Amino acid sequence: MRLFVGIALSPEAAAALSGVRALLASSGPELRWSEPHGWHVTLQFLGEVTEPRAAMVAERLATVKADPVPVRIAELGFFERAGVFFAGVALTPELLALEQRVVAAMRACGFTPEPRRYNPHITLARAKGRGGARELAPLKKALERRPIDLAAKFVAEEFLLYESIPGPAGSRNEVKARFSLCAGNGEGPAHTTPAPE
């Protein structure tokens, strides 16, 4: 199974991004837009994991100690080489601390952290082909003509272990386990709740 750790968006934040999608979806016919129910902020991508190792991952994530995390979505941007249109997430001290604690917990399970600096974002659309910058160009022009003032924020009170399941219409994410972030929990263990079957 293909796993990653992330934060789900609040309904209000998802609604704000849905408004952006509705305004811009017609600007990029060569783009594959992600579905709102799949939007999330990745903390760490784990990749292919066996069932026994997945159980170890959940056990280790349950030991992560952190307070609730303010999440602020503040800008729209592009990873041109990868052909990705995204909403940027402010790297607050709380979010960075949670990411570092998750990475440390996963290192104990044998996962190597990415060498790149953590860059939290929400992927909104991807180019369908391999001409990333070229396929993003109509969307970039649409944003230049009509800039969007995006401001959405919420407080995450949990983080999640997801399984990414590939399909003909793109991957869908299934929640495998939830881990609470409780006030004053910077020193106490996270509470874990298995996702319903």
Q: What is the pLDDT of residues 51-80, one digit of tens each?
A: 999 999 999 999 999 999 999 998 899 998
Q: In what side-by-side order are the strands of the sheet with 69-79?
A: 31-33, 121-127, 84-89, 69-79, 152-156
Residue 8 vs residues 11, 65, 71, 124: alpha-carbon distances, Å: 9, 18, 10, 14
Q: Which amino acid is at 81?
A: R
Choose, from 40, 101, 126, 176, the residue flagged as catalytic. Answer: 40
Choose, from 121, 126, 176, 178, the residue flagged as catalytic. Answer: 121
Q: Which amino acid is at 92?
A: T
Q: Quick one: tokens of 179?
A: 């881990």
- Tens-digit pLDDT profile for residues 31-43: 888 888 889 999 9
What gap in Å lies between CA 96 and CA 119, rounded to an integer?
Answer: 10
pLDDT attached to residue 168: 72
121 is catalytic: yes
Residues of the chain scoring pLDDT < 70: 27-30, 130-132, 169-170, 185-197
In 63-158, which ranges are continuous DSSP H helix?
93-107, 132-145
At 24, give phi and psi (nearest 5°). -110, -15
DSSP, collapsed to helix, strand or coil, labels residue 17 as: helix
